[in-house]
Amino acid sequence: MGYKKLPDWASWTSGLFLGISSGLQVVSFVSIVSGLIGLTGTGSQTPELLVAGTCLGILGTYLFSIIRPPEQLRASDIFAGFFSFAISATLCSTLIFLIAGVTNQFDTALYEASVALTTTALSTLDISRLAPEIEFFRGILQWIGGLVVLILGAAIIPVVGTRSNPSAHIERNEALSLGATRRTAVYSILAIYVPLSIILWFAYSLTGLGIFDGLLLAVSTVSTGGFLPQGNPLANGAVQWIAIAGMCISGTSFVVLWRLARNKVGELKSSLELRIYFLVLISLGLVLFLTSGNYSLINLRSSFMVISSAVSTTGFPAVIQGEWLPVFTVLILLITAIGGMAGSASGGFNIRSLIILLRLSVRELVRQLHPRSVVRIRIDDKPLSESTVEHAVVLQFLFISVVVITAVSSSIAGLDLFSAINASIHSTATAGPIRSIEGDLVDPSLWTRPIRATLIPAMILGWLTIFPVLIAAGEFTSFLKGRLKSFRRQILMVKERQ
C-alpha cells in the first residue's frame, strides 16, 4: 500500500484550533522566559513558571502538529482563529496566575489575565507584592496583546474584502501600504513595533529607571497597556516626557509610522485623521492646563500626560497639579471612548470611524434638501464605498450596545450609574484608569468580584474590535446548527430503518 494523504481539515475547524494552539504556545513562551528571568534573582515563582510553561508548550505544539489546514482560510475563519486565540491565551494566563500564587481565586485570575491581554489599565494587582518574574510575565503579556490587535486591525481586516470592488480597493490601499499581502503587512508592523519598544526601553533606561523597570515601562507604553513597574517611575519629569511622546506615537496609525520610516512624509500632509488626532492632543492639553489655574511647567507636563494617556487609551495614572473641574472627567471619558487613530494599538471607537459618521450625517442633511443629489463620502480625497460607511454605522451601534449592556450589568452587580457607565466605556475602549467626578483615581480592587466579572466580556470585545468576535460567534452558531441538523437526520434515518 502506498502513502495515503490525510484529508485537510475544514477551514472553520482549522482556524479555530490554530488560534487555540497559538494561544498555548505564546503563553508557554512568555512563561518560560519569565521563569528564566527569575533565575537571575531569588526566583520565588520560577519553578512554577517553567513547569507550567513547558506543559502548555508541549500541548500547543502537539495540537499544531495534527492540524491540516486547507490552502486558504476564509476571512470569517481567520476571525474565529483570533477569537479562539484570545480565549486560549486568557485561560492559559489565568492558569499561570493561579499556579504562581498571584491569587487563589479563579475569577480574579481570569480578570487579571483579561486585563493584561487586552491592554486595559484596570488591574487590581498590588505591584509591590509581585516577584520580578511575574512582573515580566504580566508586562510581556500586554505587549503581545498590543501586537495582536495591531495585526488584526492593520494587517487582517483591511485585506478581507473583495478586490473586484474598485471603491473597496481604494480604501484598502491606505492599509495595504504596509504590504501587498497579509504576511508582508505583519512583517511591516513588526519592523515598527519591535524597534519602537527598544527605543523607548533605551530612553527610559537613560533616565535612571534601570534596565528591568525601563523594559516594563516601555512595553506598557508601546502596547497602551498602562501597567507600571514597582515604585513611582512617573514621578520623574524626564520619564513623563518620554511617556507622553511614546503614548502619542502608539496612538498614531502604524500606516503613518510606516510612511515616516519610508521617508514618505509628503503623503501625510493630506491626512485629515492625523491632523485631528494631534489637534485633539494639543488643544485639550492646553485647555486642561489653562483652566486648572496652575501655570507651572510641571502642571503643563501633567496636563499633556493626562490627555495623551486618555486619547491613546494607555491609562497611566496621571494627575494634574491644579484644580480639577468636574467637566474634565466628562471630557476625559469622551476622548477615551473615541480613542486614537485607526490601525493603532489604542482602543476605542477610533477617529476615522468618527469622521465617517460625521460626514454621513452631513450627507443625509444635504439629501433632505436635495433628494436627487449624489454625494460620495470622501476621506483625504478618496471615495469610500457604501459598505465601509455601513460598517462604521454598525460598529457604532455595536460599540454603544456593548457599553450599555456592560453598564447595566455592572449596575446590577453593585456600581452606581455614573461609575457603571465610566467602567463600561473604559473596559470597551481597553483604557483606564477610571476617575470619579471629582477627578480622584478609582481603585478597581475595591470593586466586588461580580462587578469585575461583568467587565471581562467588554474588554475582549473591545480589544478585538467587536466585529470579528461577532462574525466568529455567528460562524460558530451556524456550525452548531449544521451539526444539530445532521444529528437529527441520523436519528430519523435510524427510526426509518427500525
Per-residue pLDDT of the chain (498 residues; tens, 9 = 90+): 444 444 567 777 888 889 999 999 999 999 999 999 888 776 678 889 999 999 999 999 999 999 888 777 777 777 888 888 999 999 999 999 999 989 899 999 999 999 999 999 999 988 888 889 999 999 999 999 999 888 887 656 654 444 444 444 434 445 556 665 677 878 888 889 999 999 999 999 999 888 999 999 999 999 999 898 888 888 899 999 999 999 999 999 888 888 787 777 776 777 888 899 999 999 999 999 999 989 999 999 999 999 999 999 998 988 888 889 888 999 999 999 999 888 888 888 889 888 888 888 888 888 888 877 777 888 877 787 777 788 788 888 889 999 999 999 999 999 999 999 999 999 999 998 899 888 888 999 899 999 999 999 999 999 987 766 766 666 667 667 777 777 777 777 777 776
Q: What is the pLDDT of residue 253?
A: 86
Q: If we measure between CA atoms, which residue out of 380, 334, 325 comes closest to residue 356?
A: 380
Name 296's Cβ contacts closer than 8 Å, sequence gap at least 6. Answer: 321
Q: Which three cell numbers stand for residue 325?
A: 473641574
Tell me the C-alpha distance between 127 and 131, whole Å.
Answer: 9
How many other β-carbons are positioned within 10 Å of the β-carbon of residue 210?
14
Q: What is the pLDDT of residue 439?
A: 85
Read off the amino acid at residue 259.
R
Q: What is the pTM of this model?
A: 0.88
Q: Which three cell numbers stand for residue 16?
A: 479555530
